[in-house]
């Protein structure tokens, strides 16, 4: 089916090409179907590119090369490829985006060069030396367009002098997304600036869902990744809104957000004069308050009162994330470390004893308070990545990658503080107060940022000068900055008369690697 579509396009394209050349008076080798107008635009279009009908399955029409010209060769070795018939020309020094993009009339920006290539069905954009303060964005509409630098800005002959692409603000220098046709980028310097936002990353080139791309004689630089924010926000509370206090002879109850529980013992009554002990789930925090004994007079001595519940126990602090982050369609996302554990709830207080002399039921014990919530895990530091490849196949030939210092991980969050247990109900002999839940433990510190030449996930392992490299610490012509430091663990919550939470673990230190494979 593809062959018939291509053949059909070639036949139609040849007829249209002949008609347009004849009507314009252009020579073979000039840009087909383009006639300069007074406003620098195209016939019938107000200064904009002339769209062409796409192939039914997308992409550009077959490339039209001069007779005897080998499109598989490197343009520096096949001068007939560097012609108006084959490509669009860009010059930051002599170009003007209102022009048609021919050699004698180049456009100024690479973005406009790509637009002109799409509009005229060409596959090659030739960029001469100089500084280009713009990001390059190639998407499915540009599928098959290739970028070539290394040219002088006079006759556009090959000199090897690479144009430098560096956007004026943070972000990718080059992003290619959704290419199904093989493409190439040759003889460019591509530089991403330091990240600006807290915890953000700097990525020079991002390749997303590209079937096959070759970088040849390309130098890519990534700026600094930034340290993640300081201590995380306070965690959502683990304390319920309901009252923990006893109500008459009924013990108080607490169902915590993490589904741990505490209950004060019910007060004694005529059939069962001794108050019930307090409880907690899980029952690992110490004993519940004992119930008071039957009071056969109106003194309500201590033996007839419920005992207070024990305080809860602190649990483990948060640990560091085990990875530095992951790669997805919007770029690199640093990992977030694990939050600290909530403290165990306090045990409920015991119920008061029955006062048989007065015929009054004992007072219900207060429920223990819930444990404080664990502090949130710290975020990972920003990365410095020369090339990120997602679900793609990237090859590098005679290229150079440079990265910078990655950011430190953020501090883990502080655990939630303890709160008082509930009080007893107001019946006969008093019940015990509930124990205090332990304060929450601190979150783990964020992992240090990654400094890597190539980070890839899904797709095919990158190729470096002909060899597949899945995951490796060092490669020739790959210079790496330092990985970021791990963030400190968060502090346990304040005890407030209870058990203080534990401190979270320090974040995993960052790393520097020539090639880093992200687990799927």
Q: How far apart are CA 105 and CA 112, in angstroms?
A: 13
pLDDT(159) > 90: yes
Tell me whether residue 462 is in a domain.
no
Please state the rounded mean pLDDT for residues 182-206: 97
More confident residue, 30 or 86: 86
pLDDT tens string 482-506: 999 999 999 999 998 999 999 999 9
**What b-and-e string marks burial along 372-410, b requiring 16 or more CB atoms within 10 Å of the CB?**
bbbbbbbbbbbbbbbbbbbbbbbbbeebbbbbbbbbbbb
Residue 352 backbone dihedrals phi, psi, to 5 degrees: -70, 155
The confidence score (pLDDT) of residue 41 equals 35
The confidence score (pLDDT) of residue 63 equals 84
Q: Say which residues have a Cβ less than 8 Å from residue 247's Cβ, sequence separation at least 6.
A: 364, 425
pTM value? 0.84
279-281 and 261-263 as β-strands: parallel, antiparallel, unpaired? antiparallel
Please state the rounded mean pLDDT for residues 132-149: 96
Tell me whether residue 370 is in a domain.
no
Instruction: Give 245's pLDDT tier (boundaries 50, 70, 90).
Output: very high
467-468 and 219-221 as β-strands: parallel, antiparallel, unpaired? unpaired
Tell me whether residue 217 is in a domain.
no
Q: How far apart are CA 31 and CA 38, in angstroms?
A: 17
More confident residue, 69 or 51: 69
DSSP classification of residue 310: P
**What b-and-e string marks burial along 38-58, b requiring 16 or more CB atoms within 10 Å of the CB?**
eeebbeeeeeebbeeeeeeee
The confidence score (pLDDT) of residue 59 equals 56
Residue 196 backbone dihedrals phi, psi, to 5 degrees: -115, -45
Cα end-to-end span (Å), the chain: 35
pLDDT(22) > 70: no
Q: How far apart are CA 233 and CA 499, in angstroms?
A: 22
Quick check: bond before 282 cis, omega within 30?
Answer: yes
Q: Which of 435, 409, 432 is nearest to 421 (CA)?
A: 435
Tell me whether residue 283 is in a domain.
no
More confident residue, 141 or 295: 141
Long-range contacts of residues 102-110, Cβ cutoff 8 Å, at least 24 apart = 102/30, 102/31, 102/34, 103/155, 103/156, 105/36, 109/134, 110/134, 110/136, 110/147, 110/165
Write a three-state SS string for 226-293.
CCCCCCCCCCCCCCCCCCCCCECCECCEEECCCCCEEECCCCCCCCCCCCCCCEEECCCCCCCCCCCC
Q: Which two tokens stand for residue 37?
A: 């107008």
Instruction: Give 359's pLDDT tier (boundaries 50, 70, 90).
Output: confident
Residue 145 backbone dihedrals phi, psi, to 5 degrees: -70, 135
The confidence score (pLDDT) of residue 295 equals 74
Contact 218, 188 (CB under 8 A): yes
Tell me whether residue 33 is in a domain.
yes
Instruction: Give 53's pLDDT tier (boundaries 50, 70, 90).
Output: very low
The confidence score (pLDDT) of residue 426 equals 84
Please state the rounded mean pLDDT for residues 449-474: 97
Residue 154 backbone dihedrals phi, psi, to 5 degrees: -100, -80
Residue 497 backbone dihedrals phi, psi, to 5 degrees: 85, 5
Tell me whether residue 398 is in a domain.
no
DSSP classification of residue 75: G
Split into its structural domains, the chain has a count of: 1
Please state the rounded mean pLDDT for residues 145-159: 96
Q: How much of the chain, in percent, has pLDDT values that exceed 70?
A: 88
Please state the rounded mean pLDDT for residues 308-322: 96
Tell me whether residue 131 is in a domain.
yes
Q: How far apart are CA 374 and CA 108, in angstroms?
A: 56
Instruction: Give 62's pLDDT tier (boundaries 50, 70, 90).
Output: confident
Residues 42, 46, 50, 53, Cα dihedral to 10° = -140
Tell me whether residue 218 is in a domain.
no
Q: Say which residues have a Cβ less than 8 Å from residue 259's Cβ, sequence separation at least 6.
A: none
pLDDT tens string 328-342: 999 999 999 999 999
pLDDT(7) > 60: no
**What b-and-e string marks burial along 287-324, b requiring 16 or more CB atoms within 10 Å of the CB?**
bbbbbbbbbeeeebeeebbbbbbbbbbbbebbbbbeeb
pLDDT(17) > 90: no
Burial bucket for residue 178 (CB in 10 Å: 0-12, 13-18, 19+): middle
pLDDT(463) > 90: yes
The confidence score (pLDDT) of residue 428 equals 82
Q: How far apart are CA 392 and CA 177, in angstroms?
A: 9
Q: How much of the chain, in percent, has pLDDT values that exceed 90?
A: 78
The confidence score (pLDDT) of residue 32 equals 35
Q: How far apart are CA 192 and CA 201, in angstroms?
A: 10
Please state the rounded mean pLDDT for residues 375-395: 97
By residue range, what is the domain housing residue 81? Answer: 29-61+77-165
**90 bridge partner residues:** 107, 127
pLDDT(266) > 80: yes
Q: Which of 413, 62, 471 is nearest to 232 (CA)?
A: 413
């Amino acid at each position: 089916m593809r062959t018939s579509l291509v053949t059909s396009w070639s036949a139609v394209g040849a007829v249209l090409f002949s008609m347009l050349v004849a009507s314009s008076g252009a020579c073979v080798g000039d840009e087909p179907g383009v006639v300069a107008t007074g406003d620098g635009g195209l016939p019938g279009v107000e200064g904009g590119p002339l769209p062409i009908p796409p192939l039914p399955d997308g992409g550009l029409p077959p490339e039209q090369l001069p007779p005897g010209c080998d499109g598989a060769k490197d343009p520096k070795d096949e001068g007939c490829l560097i012609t108006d018939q084959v490509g669009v020309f860009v010059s930051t020094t002599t170009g003007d985006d209102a022009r048609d993009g021919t050699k004698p009339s180049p456009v100024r920006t690479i973005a406009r060069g790509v637009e002109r290539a799409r509009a005229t069905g060409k596959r090659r954009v030739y960029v001469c030396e100089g500084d280009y303060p713009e990001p390059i964005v190639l998407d499915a509409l540009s599928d098959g367009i290739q970028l070539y630098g290394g040219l002088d800005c006079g006759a556009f002959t090959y000199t090897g002098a690479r144009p430098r692409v560096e956007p004026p603000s943070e972000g990718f220098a080059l992003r290619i997304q959704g290419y199904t046709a093989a493409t190439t980028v040759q003889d460019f310097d591509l530089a991403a600036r330091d990240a600006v936002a807290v915890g953000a990353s700097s990525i020079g080139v991002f390749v997303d869902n590209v079937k096959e791309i070759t970088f040849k004689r390309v130098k890519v630089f990534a700026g600094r990744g930034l340290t993640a924010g300081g201590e995380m926000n306070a965690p959502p509370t683990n304390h319920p809104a309901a009252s923990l206090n006893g109500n008459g002879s009924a013990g108080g109850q607490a169902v915590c957000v993490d589904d741990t529980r505490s209950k004060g013992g019910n007060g004694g009554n005529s059939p069962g004069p001794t108050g019930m002990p307090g409880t907690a789930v899980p029952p690992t925090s110490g004993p519940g308050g004992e119930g008071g004994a039957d009071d056969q007079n109106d003194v309500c001595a201590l033996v007839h009162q419920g005992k207070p519940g024990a305080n809860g126990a602190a649990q483990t602090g948060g640990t560091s994330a085990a990875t530095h982050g992951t790669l997805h369609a919007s770029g690199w996302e640093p990992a977030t470390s694990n939050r600290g554990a909530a403290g165990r709830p306090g045990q409920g207080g015991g119920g008061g004893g029955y006062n048989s002399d007065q015929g009054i039921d004992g007072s219900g014990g207060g429920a223990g308070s819930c444990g404080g919530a664990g502090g949130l895990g710290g975020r990972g530091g920003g990365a410095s990545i020369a090339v990120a490849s997602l679900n793609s196949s990237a090859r590098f030939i005679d290229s150079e990658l440079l990265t910078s210092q990655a950011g430190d991980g953020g501090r883990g969050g502080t655990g939630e503080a303890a709160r008082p247990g509930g009080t007893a109900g107001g019946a006969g002999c008093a019940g015990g107060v509930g124990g205090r839940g332990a304060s929450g433990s601190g979150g783990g510190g964020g992992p240090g940022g990654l400094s890597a030449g190539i980070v890839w996930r899904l797709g095919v392992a990158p190729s470096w000068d002909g060899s597949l490299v899945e995951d490796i610490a060092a490669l020739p012509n790959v210079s790496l900055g330092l990985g970021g430091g791990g963030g400190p663990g968060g502090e346990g919550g304040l005890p407030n008369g209870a058990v203080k939470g534990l401190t979270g673990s320090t974040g995993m230190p960052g790393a520097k690697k020539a090639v880093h494979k992200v687990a799927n």
